């Protein structure tokens, strides 16, 4: 996904910073990483507080194979409804930012 599309997705927060990382991109707002781009997909930061809401909305947690077993990461797919509704996208982006702030503490 190109940077302009990513910036548009997160515009409700304000200007985001995008940095290359691990063959993908890290998406930051005010110094906190709130999302990553992996294989062309944006994944939002989640935590114990927001994960149940993400899961209920149909999101899936990102994991990768590490030494023969899956390793779950604190990033979740964006709920499908958000792609067609800017208000829904804003809601999920803000939820990801809140999780990012909790992770920084």
Distance CA 23, CA 19 (A): 10
Assign residue 55 the CATH number of its domain.
3.30.1460.30
Confidence of residue 1 (pLDDT cuts 50, 70, 90): confident
Q: Where are the alpha helices (DSSP H) in the chain?
A: 3-9, 51-56, 86-104
Domains identified in the chain, total number: 1
Q: For residue range 16-30, list pLDDT tens digits in order.
A: 999 999 889 999 999
In this predicted structure, the answer to whether residue 101 has a pLDDT above a threshold of 90 is yes
Q: Cα–Cα distance between 42 and 86 in angstroms, integer?
A: 15
Mean pLDDT of 18-47: 95
Which residue range forms the structural domain that includes residue 59? 3-104
| Average pLDDT value over all residues in the chain | 95
Residue 3 pLDDT > 90, yes or no?
A: yes
Q: Of 3, 7, 13, whose CA–CA distance to 96 is shortest?
A: 13
Portion of the chain with pLDDT greater than 70, in percent: 100
pLDDT exceeds cutoff 90 at 89: yes
What's the average model confidence in pLDDT over 3-26?
Answer: 94
């Amino acid at each position: 996904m190109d940077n302009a599309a990513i910036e548009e997705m997160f515009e409700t927060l304000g200007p985001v910073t995008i940095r290359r990382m691990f063959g993908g991109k890290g998406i930051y707002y005010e110094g906190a990483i709130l999302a990553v781009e992996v294989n062309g997909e944006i994944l939002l930061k989640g935590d114990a507080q927001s994960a149940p809401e993400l899961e209920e909305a149909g999101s899936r947690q990102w994991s990768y194979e590490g030494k023969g077993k899956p390793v779950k990461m604190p990033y979740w797919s964006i709920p499908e409804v958000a792609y067609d509704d800017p208000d829904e996208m804003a809601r999920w982006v803000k939820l990801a930012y809140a999780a990012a702030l909790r992770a920084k503490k």
